[in-house]
Structure formats: structure tokens, C-alpha cells
Structure 1
Amino acid sequence: MQFSFHNPTRIHFGQNQIAQITREIPSSAKVLVLYGGGSIKQNGVYDQVTQALSRHKWGEFAGIEPNPSVETLDRAVAMVREQGFDYLLAVGGGSVIDGTKYVAAAARYEGYGWDILEGKHRVREALPLGAILTLPATGSESNAASVITRTATHEKRSFYAPAVHPKFAVLDPSVMRTLPERQLKNGIVDAFVHVCEQYLSHNDQALVQDGYAEVLLRNLKQLAEQYDQHETPQWRENLMWTANQALSGLIGAGVPHDWATHGIGHELTAQFNLDHAQTLAVVLPALLRELQPQKESKLRQMGKNVFGLSGEALAERTIEAIEALFQSLGVKTRLSEYAINRNDIVTQVVPALADHGTLPMGEQRNVDLACCEAILLRAV
């Protein structure tokens, strides 16, 4: 192992912690609050934010979509520049926080913000930002990654820049009470696959990272099995903290990452507007079967240490257990269940993967176009 690890986000976890933003954001800052469709005005979060910012100068930008679009976010960038906002506060789930990271970076760049996603501009500075998490899933509230969609061209791309790491994050599990069940179930799947992307590679004897990853996977398995308790404070608290730790950087430090499931899934979202977690639940089992020989050791380890399996055909039975976990939440695991067929794969998804310059993928950089097509056809 060889790595440098630093997570600069200060986390305030628990009920009534939104008040902490009063002290976190400098009193001299002019704050832009960014959020999504307005649910925060129904669950009490907006009122708490308003109270906490009562001594600050602030404005708001609403309408950041799931799979945030650069077209929407560029309007926020223009607003920041025109009105002189110098601190951003994201209030929402991963999409709002990812979008706010883009705004923070693009507002300090004189060119077209999409250059950041295409790798034409390396982000070295950004506006400071904080986050109030309302939907646990992505871990975006304490990492430096962002995924953005360009609707006009059906592209979904990501960037990573330490400059957009949130300065602080508020995680209040009580705000999850009003979330639709679909979003809660998607959150479990999303966090589970985040762990898998950092764990299901090859066995490199990283005992701390593997052990912690297995704890997180067992947590998510238990939360799925105990979904009937999702209205209890304990269930909400454990999902919110587990989802955060799944992508805070610790379990991925010094170990090989895959991320091909996400890369392929992004194209499915861009082409067919599926939920992010829906694409992950479809792609991961197919990818694991296609790449089973190179992932055999870790699949067997996962089967033993996460699902309590033993005996013959352990790797395949582990993949079956992952599928069953997703299905137990009502999340589909086949593209055909979304009316996506082999012709759609060949004529839409494969050409998009070829055009967007993200290949090859995977921890061994061997997930090329042919491999992607094979994975997708398995998933039909």
C-alpha cells in the first residue's frame, strides 16, 4: 500500500445539526443556497436553513434535477457571477451536491464549464461550499467527485478535484422521514455498489480497507433485510452514515478501484433516463459474471465474509446473492425489465461508449468496447 489520505470535510451528524451552518459559514460571506425540486420546503429543512442564515446575505437557486444537467447549472454559474456570491450551500442529495461542485468550479473558470468534464480544464480553485444532506446514497457530501449530464448530447461525465471538497456537511437523519421509498431503496443499492467498486478487484491483502468495506456491505445487507424498520431513527441513522463512509475515501485508499459499473451505468442513464441506482443494479451482476475469472478471489471472500456462504461455486453464488439483495428491494436487475433490448444496446449504448472517450475501464484497464458490449448483452 502506498497512499496519501486527507478528508477535510467537517461532519455534523444528528438531529438539529443544521443550525451549525451559522458558525461554519463566515458571517461576511454572500451565500447562494442551491437545491432541487422544492421538497426541502415541505420537510422543514428550508425553514431551518433560513433561520441559520438569518444574519447572512444569501440568495437561492432551485431546480437542480436528478442527474444534474450542465444546462441548468450554467444558469447558477451566471447567477453567481452576476450577483457576487462567494460561498455555496448545497441542500439536497447527491445530485444537488454534485451540481453545486460544478458551479463552484465553473464560476472560477473563464471558459465553458463543460471543459471541466471533458478534461480540457483542470480545476485548481473553486468557490467554498458546504452541504446539507437530505438523501443518503452517493457520499458526495464529503468527497471531491461530481457527475454531471449534458442533456443536449446525452452525455454523463464526471470530474474529481480536491478544490470542490465540501468544507462541512450536515447529516441529519431525521430529514429522511419524508423521502419516497424508491429513493431510500436506491440509496441502499447506490452505496452497496460504491463499496463494491473499491472492494471487488483483486486480493491485495489490505486488511483495514477490506475489513471496513465488508462491515459496510454487511450493514447495507442488514438494512435491506430490515427495510420494514425504515421509519425508525436507528435505521435512518445507520443508512446515512454507512452511505457516507462508502465513498468518503477511506476504504479506497491504497487499493485498486474498478468503476466500470458506474461508467457503463452512466451511459444507460444518459440514453434512457434510468435512475443511477437502477443502472448499477443491472450492470454489476452482469459485469461480475463477465469478469469472474479476474475477480474470483474477492468474490469468494465477499461470499464468505458478507453473505456467510461456503462450499462449491462460491463466486457465482455470491453474484446471485447480490442480485437477490437488489431484487428484495424491488430494484430490477435486467435491462429487459425496463424495455431495453439487444438492438438498443448495439445501436445506442455501444456507440455512445465508443464516442465518449472513457475506455478502457476497470481496475486492470481491460474493460474495452467489446467487453462493455458483452456485459450489456448479459444484462438484457
Structure 2
Amino acid sequence: MKFSYANPTIIHFGQGQIQQISSSIPKNAKVLVIYGGGSIKKNGVYDQVVASLSQHSWSEFSGVEANPTKETLDKAIAQVKAENIDYLLAVGGGSVIDGTKYIAAAALHEGDSWDLITGDYKVDNAIPIGVVLTLPATGSESNMGAVVTRKATNEKLGFLSPAVRPKFAVLDPDAMKTLPEKQLVNGLVDAWVHVCEQYITSPTGHMVQEGYAEVLLRNLLELGAQFNQRDDKWRANLMWTANQALNGQIGAGMPQDWATHMIGHELTALWGVDHARSLAIIQPALLRNQLEYKQAKIEQMGRNVFGLEDSADLAERTIQSIEAFYASLHVDTGLSEVSGDKSDAIELIIEKLEHNGYTMLGENRTITPDVSREILTQAL
């Protein structure tokens, strides 16, 4: 076990914490508030943000999509440059936060913003970011990753840089009260798969990381079971669990497998499938396909997360338990966007994976395009 770990994002957690914005952003900063479709104006979050910025100079940019696009974010980048913005405040869920990270980095670049994704521009610096989280799911509020879509080419790709890790994040569970049930379900599933991608590899003996991952998975199982009895405690526990799922701690020093995400991203880019649902479509088939490498850890998950008894078919029963978890949340795990024979869709996904260089996925780099085709054939 060898790793370096630091997470400097300051978390302000709890009801009423939006007021922390006032003291968290320098008074002389010129702030751009970035948000999505305007739901924050209906649930009171926007008014709280405005009140907290009463002593700041600020403007706003709205319209960031559920899967933020380069095309929309380029408009925000132009506004940042035109107004000499020097602080960004993302108010929303993972998509708004990811988009804000892209803006923060690209606004300091004179070339095309997509250079961040291709690697033609190395992100060593960015405009500082603050966050007000409204939808717990991605953990983006305190990590250094972002995923963006380029509509023109149907590409959904990401980048990593410590420079875009938010300086602070406000996690007020009250911001979740008006969220549609579908978004809450997506948050549960997204956090679940985030933990799985860092956990379902091979046994490591790293007691803290593996044990904490199992705690988070059990949390999400229980929150799923309590979905129809949501209250303040439920919202707070989901918000904190989703944050812990991808703030870097459980993945420190661990083998990780992000193949479910990489393949799932293509479903979103091509057909607009909800990110969380794309993961639920791919994951069970991928686990069965990679059982040769993952069986011991899947069995460990069966015992320690689902409470299953040992048996010759423990791994399969564990995968079935994962599928049952998705079913309990009424998550559609079929690609309903494509009707009939899905062979053409599979080949289109393989073509995109190859184009993006995703030809050796998984913790063992064993998921080649041919293996991805096998997974997709079973999944779809």
C-alpha cells in the first residue's frame, strides 16, 4: 500500500450553510454564478446565494445541461473573459460543477477549449471555484475530475487536474427537498457505481479502504430501502455518502476499474441515456464477463455488503443482488432508446471507444474492443 493523498476542499455541511459563501469568497473577487435550468430559483437556493453575495460583485450564467456541452460552456468562457471574472461559483449538481471546472481551466487558455480534453493544453492553473451542491451523486464538489460532452461529435470525455478542485463546497441537504424522485434515484445509483469502480477489483488487504467502501455500499443499500420514507436525516446521509464515494479516500492506493463508466459514457453521448442508468445497464454484464479477475472481490462484497452465505454460486448471487438493488429503485437497465436488433448500436459504441483510445480498459487492461463487444452484447 503506497499513495499520496490530500483533499484541500473545505466542506460546509448542514442546513443553513449556504451563508458560508459570504466569508468563503474574497470580498474583492468578481464572481460568476453558474447554474442549470433554473430550479434553484424555485427551491430558495438562488435567493440564499444572492443574499450571501450581497457584498460581492457578481453576475450569472445559466443553462448548463444535465450533460454539460462544450458548446454551452464556450459561451460561459467568453463571458468570463469579457467580464474579467476571477472566481466561479457552481450552484447545482455534478453536471454544473463539472462544467464549471471546464470553464475555470479553459478561460485561462487562448486556444480551443477542447484542448483540455485532448491533452493539447495541460491544465496547471484555473480560476478558483466554490460550490453549492444541490444534487448529491458525483462527488465532483471535492474532487479534481470533470466530464464534458462535445455535441458536434457525440463525444463524452473527461479530464483531471488538481487545479480545478473546488476551494470550498456547501453541502446543505435542504437543497435536495424539491428534487424529482428520478434525480435522487440517479444520485443513489451513481454513488453506488463510483464505490464499486474502486472496490470490485481484487482483494488487497487494505482494511481502511475496503472496509470504508463496504460501509458506503451498505449505506446506499439502506437509503435505497428507505427511499419512500425520505426525511432530513435521509437527505443528509445520501449527500455525505455520495461525497465520500468519490473524494479520493477509498481509492487511495487501490486498483481501480472505470470501464463501466467509459462504456456507459458512450450510451449517454450517443443517445442521451441518463448517466446513472447507463452504468446500471453496463455493470452487471461487465462483472460477469470479468469474473475470472473479480470473483474473490465480488464474493467478499456478497458476504460483507449483502450478507450472503458462502456457496459455489456466491459471485452470481451477488451480481443478482446488485441487479435487484437497481430494480428496487425502478431503474430501467435496458437500452430502450434503441429498438429491435441492437447490433448496429453495439458496433457504433465500439467505434467510439476505439476512437477515444479506450482499447484496454479495466484494472487489468483486459477489456479490449472485442471484450467490450461481448459485454455490450450481454448488456443490451
- Scaled by the length of structure 1, the TM-score of the pair is 0.98
Q: How does 1:206-221 map to 2 (within 5 A)?
A: 206-221=206-221
- Hey, what's the Cα distance between the residues in 1 that align with 2:200 and 2:346? 27
- Aligned partners of 2:42 and 2:341: how far apart in 1? 39
- Give the match's secondary structure for 2:177: helix
1:293 and 1:83 map into 2 onto residues whose CA distance is 55
- Which residue is 1:110 aligned to? 110
- Give the corresponding residue for 1:285: 284
Contact 1:88 1:127 survives alignment (8 Å): yes
- Is the CA contact (8 Å cut-off) linking 2:31 and 2:89 kept in structure 1? yes
Deviations 1:346-365 (A, max 9, x none): 34211111111232111111
Cα pair 1:33 1:60 within 8 Å, conserved: yes
Which residue identity is paired with 2:330? G
Paired residue for 1:275? 274
CA distance in 1, matches of 2:310, 2:247: 34
Aligned to 1:308: 307
SS at match of 2:193: helix
- Partner Cα separation in structure 2 for residue 11 and residue 338 of structure 1: 41
Q: Residue 247 of structure 1 corresponds to which residue in structure 2?
A: 246
Task: Name the structure 1 match of 2:264.
Answer: 265
2:338–2:345 contact (8 Å) kept in structure 1: no
| Residue matched to 1:64 | 64
| Structure 2 residue 205 is the aligned partner of structure 1 residue 205 | yes
SS of structure 2 residue aligned to 1:178: coil
Pairs within 5 Å for 1:359-370: 359-370=359-370
Matched, 1:124 2:124: yes
Superposed structure 1 runs of 4+ greater than 3 Å apart: 336-341
Give 1:336 deviation, angstroms: 5.0
One-letter amino acid matched to 2:253? G
Give the Cα separation in 1 of the matches to 2:33 and 2:336.
40
Note the C-alpha offset of 1:337.
Answer: 7.8
* Aligned counterpart, 2:83: 83
**Contact kept in structure 1, 2:346 and 2:376, CA below 8 Å:** no
The offset of 1:366, in angstroms, is: 1.1
1:182-207 per-residue CA deviation (whole Å, 9 max, x = no partner) reads: 00001000000000000001111111
Secondary structure at 1:159 match in 2 = strand
| Contact 1:335–1:341 (CA under 8 A) maintained in structure 2 | no
Please list every run of 5 or more consecutive structure 1 residues that lacks an aligned counterpart in the other structure.
none
Q: Which moved more, 1:151-160 or 1:333-342?
A: 333-342
- The secondary structure found in structure 2 opposite 1:333 is coil
Whether the 8 Å contact between 1:345 and 1:373 is mirrored in structure 2 is no
Instruction: Calculate the aligned-residue CA RMSD, in Å.
Output: 1.0
Q: 1:239-293: CA deviations, max 9, x gaps?
A: 0000000000000000011000000000010011000001000001010010011
- The alpha carbon displacement at 1:340 in A equals 6.8
Structure 2: gaps of 5 or more residues: none
Query: What is the number of residues matched between the two proteins?
Result: 379
Distance 2:145 2:119 in 1: 14
Aligned residues with identical type, % of pairs: 59
* Structure 1 CA distance for aligned equivalents of residues 70 and 238 of structure 2: 29
Q: Is the 8 A contact 1:265 1:283 kept in 2?
A: yes
**CA–CA separation in structure 2 for the residues paired with 1:244 and 1:273:** 25
- Between the aligned partners of 1:126 and 1:327, the Cα distance in structure 2 is 41
- Per the TM alignment, residue 342 of structure 1 is displaced from its structure 2 partner at its CA by 2.4
Whether contact under 8 Å (1:345, 1:377) holds in the other structure is no
- Matches of 1:105 and 1:262 in 2, distance apart? 23
CA contact (8 A) 2:271 2:337 kept: no
8 A Cα contact 2:15 2:173, kept in partner: yes
Structure 2 counterpart of 1:170: 170
Map 1:121-200 to 2 at 5 A: 121-200=121-200
Q: Distance in 1 between matches of 2:266 and 2:305?
A: 30
Distance change in 2, residues 1:332/1:268 (3 Å): same
